[in-house]
Structure 1
Amino acid sequence: MAGWIPGARRLDEWERERGSWVLCEEVRAGVHELRAILAEPSDGENHSELLRGARQALDRAMDVLDPGAHRRNLTASHVTTAQLHLNYARSLWMRTLSPEELRSFLPAMSALVRQHLAVTDEHRIFVERLAKEVRDAEEAGRPTPLTEGRLVTLVDAVDAARQAALREKLRAESFVRIVRWIAVFLFCTVIVIGVLSALWRTEVPLCFTPAPSPGARGDFSVVCPTGAAPSVPADQLDTRTREVAGWGDYIVVMLIGLVAAGIAATSALRKIRGTSTAFGIPVALALLKLPTGALTAVLGLLLMRGGFVPGLSALDSPGQIIAWAVVLGYSQELFTKFVDRQGQAVLDGVRGPAAAPPREPAPEPARPKR
């Protein structure tokens, strides 16, 4: 039945993978790579159980990535589970390597540890010291200082680095999911407020009643976002306010606030550095600003109407109301800037390639004395 609906297959694909497709393919690529390595014949007969466990872990990782076998794909937790199995398989395979075989992987393992572990971490300190000893031994032509005990410690350090990398991805994924759900909730709130204000336009009118200039007839004016009554007697103020209040007052103000927030989100993206990971944190933060701007425009005008801001409680034209809606919609930056900082911190946590340490300047050759 779904085959007769145009785009149903693509929609089902999007629903199944939903932002985790790149992460799934990353795990699948790692599984295929390790399977190719394990397919090569091995001389060690004592490692058959370790190799069997590694192959079983790879099979389990591919089973978990199958979206038809479970419903965890909505939260992308199946990717995390598959990554755990892949890390377990890699750890078992590394334990089957001899010190001579493991030496060729030492630069990559050292880079992984430096990338994801803190400078003060004991695993990183050990790996950096071991890498330096191996490099010095190779330069001096001495035997490589790799023993069985150091081999086990090295594998444990790499496992710790992979676990740290997985926690960084989980943190970023959780942050994006929370921001998106909050944005959806705020968008629903904006829609509900727009519908209720259109149905009951006289319950909480978004109108102001400034006193007219000297010499004008009447005591007050009624000013709303979509209409105005220039001269209203005091005893008819409530009645005229209900008549002037339009069903689209809230909708216009929220739309103006949303547009202003969109401009603010566009300008705020220049402050957020991008990332090579598959997490749309900048996009989620930009989407959060839109409903926030619509709500701050409405709530700000309600505060002004209630006299919360001295001197700004008597706007005397619809144009002034619209202008203040623009300002209030843009001012959502005061609230969302804290979320932007947290998002940038999460992006920085999902680390890219570690920066190379600065090299010491080479000593200048001694000049011959004259």
Structure 2
Amino acid sequence: MGARTPRVTDWRLIVQSRLDRVRADLAALGPPDPLDQESQQWRAVAEQEAAVVEDMITRAESRWSAVASWWSGWHIERAWRSLHEAEIAVVAAGNGFLGRLPGLKARVAENLPDDDPRRVALEEMRPGEYPLAIERELVVDALRAAFDASDFAHAGSRALRNKLIATSVVLFVVNTVLGVIGLVKPGLIPMCVGSEKLPTVCPSGKGAAGTDVWLVQVLGAFGAVLSAVVLLLRRRPSLSPYVMVGYQALIKVLLGAALAVVGILALGAGVTTGLIGVASQAALLLWAVILGYGQQIATRLLDTYTDRVMDQARPLPKLESPR
């Protein structure tokens, strides 16, 4: 097999644009000052880290290597960490921070709390008050702390993404097993509902059938799709290399299918006797849809937790509440 060309993805485009900015800033620094050895060292660091970033975003991998890299996220996080080091080195290579100070403060404020001593020191710094070497240390420490917080948040979002994928696989296997059992041995997983006062109704409408479980799962998944659409509509734009909304929606659909089966079993077992009566096939199928949508109660906590993790990975201005 020949070498594969690297895929064009959102995170690569963002990293490439910022890498181009790093190289433009390096060129704008002009010739190095022979008396400022520290500045020359920072220039060399910036060039080395920029080369690492270039390698990460242009590296071609085989299919299996690409899958392993996608799961571990090492190439994404390596590219971001090297990019951050290159950006720090470019800032440190300059001979002053007066023009950059507003941008540096804004960037640090995105990831560090108000009472962080490194953020406080940067915000209180007055260019020219200290020797250039001390100013460099203050700026580098604050930027590294801010970028470290961002990088750790990326790692946390990747871990969450992998957990969502593993959960989706488990739910898919469970739903598939239930469907196959219902198809091979109709009635083993009873999907028909009846009581003393109401006739027995089944999803297929003609007694227990092998497709009953599948039909209930499909309708439960349809109900879950409705809640997934709501999730998509209220989702804020993501600046993180890991996008969770697709995996969240997948879990909702798979969980909705499973809960629809469990809910119909509960109706058939008489758990809701006196509260819910199912008198027709249409009512039974409607309950499958409602039960599938009911997974929203369970996944709401997951959505809230995911939002919190993603807000740390890609800090955005808080949305103002409508007046």
Report the TM-score when normalising by structure 1.
Answer: 0.73
Give the secondary-structure state (helix, strand or coil) at the position aligned to 2:201.
strand
Q: Which stretch of the first structure deviates more once superposed, 168-177 or 63-72?
A: 63-72
Residues 26-105 of structure 1: pairs in structure 2 closer than 5 A: 26-39=14-27, 40-44=30-34, 46-47=37-38, 48-65=40-57, 66-68=59-61, 71=66, 72-75=68-71, 76-98=73-95, 101-105=96-100
Give the secondary-structure state (helix, strand or coil) at the position aligned to 2:97.
helix
**Can you list the C-alpha shifts for 1:95-153, whole angstroms capped at 9, x where unaligned?**
3322xx322211111111111111111111111112xx45xxxxxxxxx3242323311
Structure 2 CA distance for aligned equivalents of residues 320 and 208 of structure 1: 11
1:160 alignment partner in structure 2 = 145
**C-alpha contact 1:257 1:295 (8 A) present in aligned 2:** yes
Higher Cα Rg: structure 1 or 2? Answer: 1
Q: Which amino acid aligns with 1:285?
A: Q
Q: Which amino acid aligns with 1:53?
A: V
Q: Which amino acid aligns with 2:80?
A: Q
| Structure 1 pair 182–322 and aligned structure 2 pair: CA distance change class (3 A) | same
Ranked by relative contact order (alpha carbons within 8 Å, sequence separation 6 or more), the top structure is 2
1:308 alignment partner in structure 2 = 271
Residues 1-370 of structure 1: pairs in structure 2 closer than 5 A: 17=7, 21-39=9-27, 40-44=30-34, 46-47=37-38, 48-65=40-57, 66-68=59-61, 71=66, 72-75=68-71, 76-98=73-95, 101-130=96-125, 133=126, 144-147=128-131, 148-211=133-196, 221-228=199-206, 244-311=207-274, 315-352=278-315
Q: How many residues align?
A: 308
Q: How many Å apart are 1:312 and its aligned residue?
A: 5.7
Q: How many Å apart are 1:154 and its aligned residue?
A: 1.7
Which ranges in structure 1 are unaligned for 5 or more consecutive residues?
3-8, 135-143, 214-220, 229-243, 356-370
Structure 1 CA distance for aligned equivalents of residues 222 and 46 of structure 2: 54
Q: Which stretch of the first structure deviates more once superposed, 145-154 or 271-280?
A: 271-280
**C-alpha contact 1:115 1:354 (8 A) present in aligned 2:** no
Q: How many Å apart are 1:353 and its aligned residue?
A: 5.3
| Cα-Cα RMSD | 2.9
**C-alpha contact 1:223 1:316 (8 A) present in aligned 2:** yes
Report the TM-score when normalising by structure 2.
Answer: 0.83
Q: How many Å apart are 1:157 and its aligned residue?
A: 0.6
Which ranges in structure 2 are unaligned for 5 or more consecutive residues?
319-323
2:321 alignment partner in structure 1 = none
Give the secondary-structure state (helix, strand or coil) at the position aligned to 1:335.
helix
**Can you list the C-alpha shifts for 1:39-69, whole angstroms capped at 9, x where unaligned?**
4421235244443333222222322331338
1:237 alignment partner in structure 2 = none
**C-alpha contact 2:181 2:188 (8 A) present in aligned 1:** no
**C-alpha contact 2:111 2:315 (8 A) present in aligned 1:** no
Give the secondary-structure state (helix, strand or coil) at the position aligned to 2:80.
helix
**C-alpha contact 2:219 2:285 (8 A) present in aligned 1:** yes
**C-alpha contact 1:257 1:325 (8 A) present in aligned 2:** yes
Structure 2 CA distance for aligned equivalents of residues 167 and 90 of structure 1: 17
Q: Which amino acid aligns with 1:121?
A: D
**C-alpha contact 1:305 1:314 (8 A) present in aligned 2:** no
**C-alpha contact 1:109 1:158 (8 A) present in aligned 2:** yes
Structure 2 CA distance for aligned equivalents of residues 258 and 171 of structure 1: 29
**C-alpha contact 1:114 1:354 (8 A) present in aligned 2:** no
Q: Which amino acid aligns with 1:328?
A: L
Give the secondary-structure state (helix, strand or coil) at the position aligned to 1:224.
coil
Q: Which amino acid aligns with 1:73?
A: S
Structure 2 CA distance for aligned equivalents of residues 265 and 350 of structure 1: 22
**C-alpha contact 1:289 1:332 (8 A) present in aligned 2:** yes
